[in-house]
Every structure is written in C-alpha cells, then in structure tokens.
Chain A
Amino acid sequence: MTQISVIEANKSFGPQHILRDINLHVDSGEFIVLLGSSGCGKSTLLNVIAGLEDLDTGRIIAGDQDVTNVDSSRRNMSMVFQSYALYPTMTVRRNLGFGLRVNKVPKAEIAKRVEWAANLLQLTPLLDRRPSQLSGGQRQRVAIGRALVRRSPVCLFDEPLSNLDAKLRTEMRLEIKKLHQELRSTIVYVTHDQIEAMTLATRVAVMKGGKIEQYATPDELYEKPETLFVAGFVGSPSMNLLSACIHIEDGEPMAIFGDRQLPIDAYPFRQPAVNGQEIVIGFRPEEVQLADDRTTLPTLFAPITFIEPMGADTLVWFAFGEQKFSVRLPSAKARGLSGEVRLAFNASSASIFSKESEQRL
C-alpha cells in the first residue's frame, strides 16, 4: 500500500499560523491518529494530506510521488467526513458507486464492489434509500462504505464518530478497527477523543498549537508522555500532575510537596536532576497503591477528600495541601477507607516534567 510523508509543512489562514513545521511519516498500512483539542490544526493537517487545502511551504509525499501540487481528485485517497457529506440526491447505491463511476470503473465491477461494501457494513437493505431516509449511524456507515469501495491505498477519516451517540460510537470504533485489520490500507484518522486514539491507532500524533507534541504508539504515549500537555490530555481519568521541587540529599533526589518529601531516585532521569528545580510530577491513578507491611516502595500519608465509585474501580481523591490527586483502587479495597491513608508511590513508572519547559526530564 502507500506510505505518506509530510515534510516541513506550514500553513496559515490570514494571521493565524495553523501548521508550524510539521513533519510526519506514516508507514504503509499504519493507522495513524491525529489527536488534539479543537483548533490545534489536526483537521487542517488532514485536509493538507488530502489536497483540499494548499500548503504555504513544505511537501507531501504519498508512496514515492510528490503530491504537493497534485489535485485532490488525482491523489487516489478516499476520505470520510465528519458531516458524512453524502450526496443528497443519490441513493445509497449511487453514493457508494459515485467515485468508481467517476473513475471509469466498469459497471459490473462497480456493482460487485458496492455489493461487497454493503455486505460488509450491513447496508444491503438500505441500498435504494436516500441519505435523508437514514439514521446517523447508517449515514456514517455509508460514508465509510463510500471510502472503502474505492480500494484506495490511503484512507482519511475526519472525526467520523463525533456525531454518534456513545453506544454507537463504541460499535463503530470496533468496526473501523476490524476493517483496518482486514484491508490493511494506510489510515490517517483525526479525532479529539483520546479513547478513540488509544484503541484504534498504531501510532498517535498528539497536536497542540499547530505542532506535533509527541508521535508514538498508544502505550508509549500513555506510559511515557513527552510533554506536560500530552500527559494531561491522554488517559481517562487523567494523569495526576503535582507541582513539586527537587531537593537533592546525599546524592538522592527527592520531590518536595510542601512539608512532604518523596524519594524519586528510581526515576530514570535523562539528565541528572538539579537541586531546587521546579518540576511537575505525574503519575497515573492506577500506579499508586495502598501501602501494606510488605511495601518496599517509598510511601507517604495523604488525607482522603472524597470517594468516587465507578463500578469495577473506585476513584479515591487525596490532597497534598492544595494539590488534589486521584488513586484508582479496586472497589472492594476502597470500601470503608477514611482519614489518612499510607500510599506507595512507584517513581520508576512516574513521569517528571520540567515546570519551565514542560518537557519530560
């Protein structure tokens, strides 16, 4: 199939610099998710890859061809739009077949592929309806089907699930993942939903302010966020981020929270820690445990502020002075907790960021 490279891409709308020196390489058959909150430039980046927006500077390579100046209709990519963008005057059948017809595919082949897509997406009974007679989920499937029948090596998705309700979204997410595993086309997928990103992607590019903050596998993104923004954005419930100060005693770095101190010598610092440096220490709610007698990890006492049951797990909120943080515990263990609790922190799996540069230390 096809690999895609975006090289030194810049794009402005008037005074707004939407894409800033974007470099992105997508391997053939990968499922890349562009993740970010609205206005971060992720949709613009997708449109640039699609050729629906022109770049100010930079290049787009698809396969072994420089497509920077190739019209979107000649890039041989298919796209699923957030608003579905089904052709309102055509039946589902004609919607699905339109791209093939325009590309002069023989009629018999069109019929075959439309049937195949309709089967795959369970659209067969709807083939002769118009888009206005379909529900949101059905329209969504037609939009995906329209992209699939093309069998184009590159498939672009622009927030395709954001208009669906929660249940349907989960279903469609699975469908899309299954489709990718079957068809193995290269997919670039835009979303602001980090769960979609984590479940679907082979790699995720987290974007903020027109830049890619981190481009990594979902696991790496979750376990080793490169920046404070990624740490806060990825994961639900989100990572606890506590401001602290480094204090080095006998060569052993400690994180100081007010009157508490936590040894962090187990953390794999990239450069040696600096005494007095302002940091933000991040740990996932599930990485903190209740300490018992066998605990060898550093421990701290913390007062419980409130308890949030979530079914299988319970989120217990603690506070170090003004700074709140949550710990995810099995519901059975959380029951009956109150007052001050001794918690065990594993610094080796934590993330520590410089407060000033917001980069991982």
Chain B
Amino acid sequence: MTATPLAPTLVYTVPRSSSMRPGRILLYVILSLALVYYAIPLLLVISTSLKTAEELRNGNIFTLPQSLNFDAWTKAWMTACTGIECNGIHGNFWNSVEIVVPSVILSILFGALTGFALSQWQSKLSRVILLSLMLGAFIPYKVILYPLVRIFSSVGLYGTLPGIILIHIIFGLPYMALLFFNFYQGVPPELSKAAKMDGAGFFTIFFEIMLPMSVNVLVVAIIMQATGIWNDFLLGLIFAGRDHLPMTVQLNNIVNTTTGVKEYNVNMAATFLTALPPLLIYILSGRYFARGLAAGAVKG
C-alpha cells in the first residue's frame, strides 16, 4: 500500500468523558482482578524461591523474603536431587533446548510447506487432506499415545532424541499447516503465477517469495511451538528416554523427591527457572504476536 497521510478528520481522538463512564470503571476493575489473579502465584513463586530454609520455617507463604538470596536458585540449577543423583536441572535445561530448537524449526518448516502446497493446489484430494489435518489438530493426543509408542519402539526411535523430535513435529504439523494455509490463501495468487512465469519452481517460490512475506505468521508459529514444546510434559516423559528428559519432567522429579524436609524454596526456584524461557518469549515477542494473530484473523 502507498503510505497516504491520514486526513485530519480521520485521526482518532479519545473522547474526554469516556474515562468517567461506569462501563469504563467496571472494565478497569475486572482487568485489575484478572491481573491480581494471574500475578499472585507467579509473585509467590519468586518470593518463596528467594527465602532461606529458616525463613520458610518461621514465616507463612505471604511474608516477603528478608534479603535477595539466590542460594535456592543455584541449588535448583546445580545440585537439587532426584533420588540418588544430585545434578539439579541444568542438564535437563539443555535437553529441553536440544528438543525444542529442532522441533520448532522443523515443525514450522514442514507445516509452512504443507500449508503453501495446499493453498496452491486446489482439488478434491487437497480438500480431503485439509479436512484430515483439521481433524488431526483436534484429536486429543492421549488417544493415540499407545499405538505411537508401539510404532516408535518397533522402528527403534522410542526413547531417543530423534524420536521425541519427530513426535513433536508430527503433533505440531496439523496446526502449523492450517495456520500457514490460512495465511497463504490470503496471498494474491498472481504472486506465485508471476514467479512461475519468471521460471521459478515450487521451492524457489516458497523460500524466496512466500516465506519472506510470512514474518508475522512465523513469529506466531515460533511462539506457539516453542512455548508448547517447552511446556510439554507427557510426551517428554514417555518418548524422550532417560538421557533426554526435558526440564519439565526433571522439575516434577525434583518436586516429588522427598528426602527429609521439603525444600519449597528450591522447588519454587526450579519451577521459575523452568517457566522462564516461555515467559521471556512472550514478553519479548508480544508485539509481533498480536500483529501476527491480527493478520491471520483478517485473512481467515
């Protein structure tokens, strides 16, 4: 679009009286309640993780820590115990990274390719595929866990890193394909026709023209996949195998290991450390996320 200067009459001005209306007040009350509702658990996690064992024994959960004490964080990261091993969760942090990075990249790549192919290829068969993808996106995966375990163990992928990555790609594919299909459907068909006339093949069109246009959708896809896969517990527990357990599973192991007094501060620190990456992704990319979702909404 050409950037046309906005006519003065089109500039949106906030009516002054609106801040006084009862509806407005109610809105802020509800928003504040929601804020408190979501923020309190997080703040409690942080505050508890900063306390010493002493403070934990003497105070209740709402008392504030007396100083900024990161001992619990270090312990959670390096030496927290599960059973007889006391290595903290740092190893599993890297396990999670190893799982998340390839899973996110590959599931988005294949999803985008599938979405693009389906948007280009309009036929009865492509509609059948689209419909089955939609079904795939809505089937709860617990239903097919057992057959998947059998299939994966029969081809030797069960309990391996490629295995868990493949699982995440498979479960991510339907939703990613639909997301990108939706976007590419809104792209004028002349673009790929023009590229075809220029001599470009399917992959050239995809990588050189379509993918660079999809930045907003890519950001949404990355956020959804990265947080989803990072937060996954069940698939990691079942398919990753002992050597590749993701952070979420290790967190559970640490929290559930009881030897002596429960170290709530360490548990909270481990929880916070595990939740931190998705939290950072949301905060850093919130702007793109909203933009991308809006773009998808208009096109869909």
Residues of A within 8 A of B (CB): 50-52, 71-74, 76-79, 81-83, 85-89, 98-99, 102-103, 132-135, 146, 150, 156
Contacts and interface: CB of A to CB of B under 8 A. Distances in A.
Given A83-B190, A87-B208, A102-B198, 9 more contacts: A52-B193, A52-B197, A73-B196, A88-B213, A98-B200, A102-B195, A132-B1, A135-B2, A146-B194
11 contacts: A52-B193, A72-B196, A73-B199, A78-B197, A79-B194, A81-B190, A85-B194, A87-B194, A98-B208, A132-B1, A133-B3
A85 B199 contact: no
B209 interface: yes
Nearest to A79: B197
A85 B192 CA distance: 8
Closest 5 CB pairs of A and B: A99-B198, A85-B190, A85-B194, A89-B212, A79-B197
A86 B197 CA distance: 12
Interface in B166-211: 188, 190-191, 193-201, 204, 208-209
A331 B266 CA distance: 99
A102 B213 CA distance: 18
B200 A102 contact: yes
Given A73-B201, A99-B199, A102-B200, A89 B194 contact: no
Contact of B197 (A73, A83, A135): A73
A186 to B, nearest CB: 15
Most buried by A among B1, B3, B196, B197: B197
B195 A98 contact: yes
Given A83-B190, A85-B191, A88-B213, A98 B197 contact: no
Instruction: With a 10 A CB-CB cut-off, give which of B3, B188, B196 has the most chain A CB atoms.
Output: B196
A293 B1 CA distance: 63
Given A83-B188, A132-B1, A132-B2, A89 B213 contact: yes
Contacts of B1: 132
Interface residues of B, number: 20
Contacts of A156: 197
Contacts of A83: 188, 190
Contacts of B198: 73, 78, 98-99, 102-103, 146, 150
Contacts of B194: 79, 81, 85-87, 146
A87 B199 contact: no
Contact of B200 (A73, A88, A89, A135): A73
A34 B2 CA distance: 31
B209 A89 contact: yes
Contacts of B200: 73, 98-99, 102
Nearest to A98: B198
Nearest to B202: A73
A86 B191 CA distance: 7
Contacts of A79: 193-194, 197
Nearest to A52: B193
A98 B1 CA distance: 21
Contact of B196 (A52, A76, A89): A52
A41 to B, nearest CB: 18
Contacts of A133: 2-3
A99 B198 CA distance: 4
B209 A87 contact: yes
Nearest to B204: A102
Contacts of A51: 196
A321 to B, nearest CB: 50
A13 to B, nearest CB: 12
A83, A102, A134: which has the most chain B beta carbons within 10 Å? A102
A102 B199 contact: yes
B151 to A, nearest CB: 38
A83 B188 CA distance: 9
A36 to B, nearest CB: 20
Contacts of A78: 197-198
B212 A103 contact: no
Interface in B198-244: 198-201, 204, 208-209, 212-213
A189 B212 CA distance: 31
Interface string B111-122: 000000000000
A137 to B, nearest CB: 11
Contacts of A150: 198
A84 B188 CA distance: 11
A117 to B, nearest CB: 14
Contacts of A52: 193, 196-197
A79 B1 CA distance: 22
Contacts of A99: 197-200
Contacts of B2: 132-135
